[in-house]
Structure 1
Amino acid sequence: MKYLTLFLLAGLLTACSPTQDATPDSPEIYFQEAEAYQEKGLYNEAIESWEKVRDSFYSPELTMLAELKLAETYYLDERYPEAASAYRDFINQYPGDPRRASATYWLGMSYFQQMLSVDRDQTSTRNALSAFNELLRLYPGENDEQEIRSLIQQCQNRLAAHELYVGRFYLRSKQYPSAVKRLEDVLQQYPDYAHNDESYYNLVVAYLRMDDRSKAEAIFQDFSDAYPASPYLLKAQKKLEK
C-alpha cells in the first residue's frame, strides 16, 4: 500500500509540475514524511503531515488522497470518532470517487469499533449497520460479502440484545405495555437472534401480568413451535399453569 500511494503521488506531482524540484515544505516531502511516520506508528506526527498535504491544495486529487489517508491514520490510532467523521466527509464530498466503497467499509468499521455494551446507547451500532447495508446495496462484489454479512449479523445481534435488555427492565419495573412493545420488536425485527426463546418467555410473562391470558397462550404456542427444546419453554408453561 505504501508503494502504491507513493506511485500515485509521483504521478500526481509529475503531471502537475514536471520540472519543479521538491522543497522542504512541498506536498511531496510532507507526503513522504506522513507515510514514514504512519509506518512507524507515529500517528500524531503522521496526521500533522497529512494535514499539511491536504492544506497545500496542490491538486484536487492530492487533496482527496490526503483526506483519505487522514481517515486511515485516525483509524489506525484508534481515534474512531475522528475516523468516522473523516470517512463520512470523504463519502459526502466525493460521491463519484472509485474509493467510495472502501471508505464506506472503513466508515462502518469505525462505528463498529465504537459499539457499546447492550445496556448502553446503541447509536454506533445502528450507524455501523447502516454503513454495512449500504455497502452491500451500492457496491455488491467490491468487498468480501461473507465478512460484511457477518458484521451485519453481529450488529443485529447487539441491537436485539439491547431490545431484550430494555424489555426485561420494563418487565421488572412493571411497565408491561412498554415491555411488550420491546419484546415484540425483538421477535419481529430480529427473527434470527439466537436468544429469542428468552424474548418469547418474557413476552408470555408480560401478557400474563397484564391479565391477557389469551394473548399469553397464543404467544406460548408460537414459542413452542419455534423452540420446542428451550429450557425457557417449561418455565413459561409453569407460569401459564398457575
Structure 2
Amino acid sequence: MFLQRMKKVLLLLGVFLMLASCSEYQKVLKSDDAGKKYALAEELYNQAIVENSKSTFRKALRVLEQIVPQYRGKPQGEKLSFLYADTYYQLGDNQIAGYQFERFVASYPKSDKAEEASFKSAKSYFADSPRFDLDQAETVKAIGELQKYIDKYPNGEFLDQANQYVAELRVKLEKKAYEIAKQYHHTENYKSAIVAFNNFITEYPGSPFREAAFYYRFDSAYELAINSYEVLMQERLNTAKGFYTNYKKYYPEGSEYYEQIQANYQDLESRLQNF
C-alpha cells in the first residue's frame, strides 16, 4: 500500500517538474532576454548530447534559431554558430548541417572547432549521397568536401574516416558508370557499350568491376562484329580480337570470365579464317 502511494507521489512529482520545465522553457522562448536564451540553448544542447535525445535537440534548435543572428559578429557568435550547425547534424538534417558547418569554417577559419566542423560538413554530404542508380551530384560534392578536409588536415583527427568515406563514394560512382555501360550491352547497343567500357577502364583503373568491364567490352565488340554486314565484319572481328588480348594480358586462365571469353574467341578466330 505504502509503495503504491510512493509511486503515485513520484509520478505526480515527475509530471509537475516536467510541466514546470516546459513552462519555464516557453517563458524564456517568448522573452526578449538574449542572455537567458543563450544559457538555455547551451543547457539544452549539452543535455541532448548526454541523453542523445532528438526531442531535446529540437528544443535547443528553436532557441538557437532565435539568437544566432543576434550574436553574429560578437564573441559568443562562434560558439553559438557551431552549436547551431551541430544541432542540425545531430538531428540528421544533412543538407542544412553541411551548409551551416561550411559557413562556420568560412566565418571562423582559426577556430579550435574548424577541423571538426570541416569534417562534419563533409560527412553530412556523405550521409546525403543517394544509392548508386540515382543522380550522383551529391556524391560528387561529398567527395569534393572530403578531399578538401584531407588536403587541409593531412594528419587530422578524422583522416582515416574521411579516406574510408571517399573510397566508398568512389565505388558508388564506379558502380553507376559500370551499370550504365552494362545496360548498353544488355540492350544490344554494342557501339555505345564499347565506348562506355573504354571510358570506364580509363577512368577507374583500380575498380573492383574492372575485369567485368574488360570482358563485356570484348563481348560487345564480338557481338557487334558477328551481327555486322560482311563488309564490316573483318575489321570488327579484329577489334574484338584486340580486346581479347587486353583481357588475357590482365586476367589469365582461371579468372572469372575466362571460359566464356575463350569460347567466343575460338568462334572469332574461326570466322577470321574465312577472310
Structure 2-normalised TM-score?
A: 0.70
Structure 1 residue 141: deviation in Å? 0.5
| Cross-structure match for 1:216 | 240
| Cross-structure match for 2:38 | 27
Asked if the contact 2:41–2:61 (Cα under 8 Å) also holds between the matched residues in 1, the reply is no
Q: Structure 1 residues 117, 143: CA separation in 2 closer, same or farther (over 3 Å shift)? A: same
Q: 2:100 aligns with which of 80, 86, 93?
A: 86
| Cross-structure match for 2:197 | 183
State yes or no: 1:149 paired with 2:173. Answer: no
Q: How many residues align?
A: 221
Instruction: Give distance in 2, aligned partners of 1:235 and 1:30.
Output: 65
| Aligned CA-pair RMSD | 2.5
Asked if the contact 1:201–1:236 (Cα under 8 Å) also holds between the matched residues in 2, the reply is yes
Q: Structure 1 residues 77, 176: CA separation in 2 closer, same or farther (over 3 Å shift)? A: same
Asked if the contact 1:125–1:155 (Cα under 8 Å) also holds between the matched residues in 2, the reply is yes
Instruction: Give distance in 1, aligned partners of 2:196 and 2:245.
Output: 20
Asked if the contact 2:34–2:67 (Cα under 8 Å) also holds between the matched residues in 1, the reply is no
Range with bigger deviation, 26-35 or 122-131: 26-35
Instruction: Give distance in 1, aligned partners of 2:115 and 2:194.
Output: 39
Counting aligned pairs with the same residue, the percent is 16
Instruction: Give distance in 1, aligned partners of 2:206 and 2:69.
Output: 48
Larger radius of gyration: 2
Structure 1 residue 157: deviation in Å? 0.9
SS across alignment from 2:220:
helix
Instruction: Give distance in 2, aligned partners of 1:188 and 1:232.
Output: 20
| Cross-structure match for 1:70 | 84
Q: Structure 1 residues 99, 155: CA separation in 2 closer, same or farther (over 3 Å shift)? A: same
Structure 1 residue 97: deviation in Å? 4.2
Question: Which AA in structure 2 matches 1:213?
Answer: L
Q: Structure 1 residues 59, 94: CA separation in 2 closer, same or farther (over 3 Å shift)? A: closer
* Cα deviation code 1:127-173 (max 9, x no counterpart): 22112221221221023433332222111111111111111112223
State yes or no: 1:239 paired with 2:264. Answer: yes
Structure 1 residue 62: deviation in Å? 2.4
Q: Structure 1 residues 172, 60: CA separation in 2 closer, same or farther (over 3 Å shift)? A: farther
Correspondence 1:23-172 to 2 at 5 A? 25-40=36-51, 41=53, 42=55, 43-57=57-71, 59-172=73-186
Q: Structure 1 residues 203, 23: CA separation in 2 closer, same or farther (over 3 Å shift)? A: closer
Asked if the contact 1:23–1:29 (Cα under 8 Å) also holds between the matched residues in 2, the reply is no
Instruction: Give distance in 1, aligned partners of 2:118 and 2:243.
Output: 40
Which structure carries more helix by proportion? 2
Asked if the contact 1:31–1:49 (Cα under 8 Å) also holds between the matched residues in 2, the reply is no
Q: Structure 2: any 5+ residue segments left out of the alignment? A: 1-32, 226-235, 268-275
Structure 1-normalised TM-score?
A: 0.79
Range with bigger deviation, 198-207 or 213-222: 213-222
* Cα deviation code 1:19-41 (max 9, x no counterpart): xxx97734233322333245431
Question: Which AA in structure 1 matches 2:255?
Answer: S
Q: Structure 1 residues 194, 48: CA separation in 2 closer, same or farther (over 3 Å shift)? A: same
Instruction: Give distance in 1, aligned partners of 2:255 and 2:63.
Output: 58
